[in-house]
Amino acid sequence: MSDTILRYVPADPFWQPTTEQADKAASLLRAMAPLSENVSGHFEDDVRFYDPGENWSGVKCPNCKADVEGWWGEAMDTAFASEFKNLSAEAACCSTTVNLNGLDYVWPAGFGRFALEALNPNMDDTTHKQDQQLAESLGAPLRKIWARY
Ligand SMILES: [Zn+2]
């Protein structure tokens, strides 16, 4: 049995909500995804990369649209060495400077220090309006990542 996680990560990888904001947003998500096994906010000390697990579909350069998996792994290792405090990287495909959080992840992925998660929500998807309500509740723009493990 694989697990599905509906995960919201702040668009700004360094931003964290207050625990009050996180609790409020978790209550809202619980109401939107009532069949979830668990809904909770997760705070991290350091920035981490939230990949979509089995949904991973590759990553492309936002400037030249090239498949960047050739240099992306090494750039991730370099950024990880700084605990992801510096997410800028030199794109080997077109010699431009890019932000690792701004790459074109074919299936959404992203960096963050906080994630609002619903475990096995047993639903197809949330609506755009619900996504906006969650962002307003938490207090920051969010990136939605459907992950499967
Ligand atoms: Zn490029």
How far apart (Å, rounded) are the C-alpha atoms in residues 56 and 28? 27
Give the pTM.
0.95
The tens digit of pLDDT for each residue in 83-119 reads 999 999 999 999 999 999 999 999 999 999 999 999 9
How close is the Cα of 55 to the center of ligand 1, in Å?
A: 23
For domain 1-53+109-149, the question of CATH label 2.30.38 is answered with: no
At residue 2, what are phi and psi to the nearest 5 degrees?
A: -95, 160
Phi and psi of 28, rounded to 5°?
Answer: -65, -45
What is the predicted pLDDT for the residue at 83?
A: 95
Confidence of residue 72 (pLDDT cuts 50, 70, 90): very high
Dist. CA 112 → ligand 1 center (Å)? 24
Across all residues in the chain, what is the average pLDDT? 97
C-alpha to C-alpha distance for 34 and 28, rounded to whole angstroms: 10
Domain boundaries, the chain: 1-53+109-149, 58-106
pLDDT range class, residue 1, cuts 50, 70, 90: confident
| Ligand 1 centroid distance, CA of 98 (Å) | 9
Give the whole-angstrom CA distance, residue 109 versus residue 69: 14
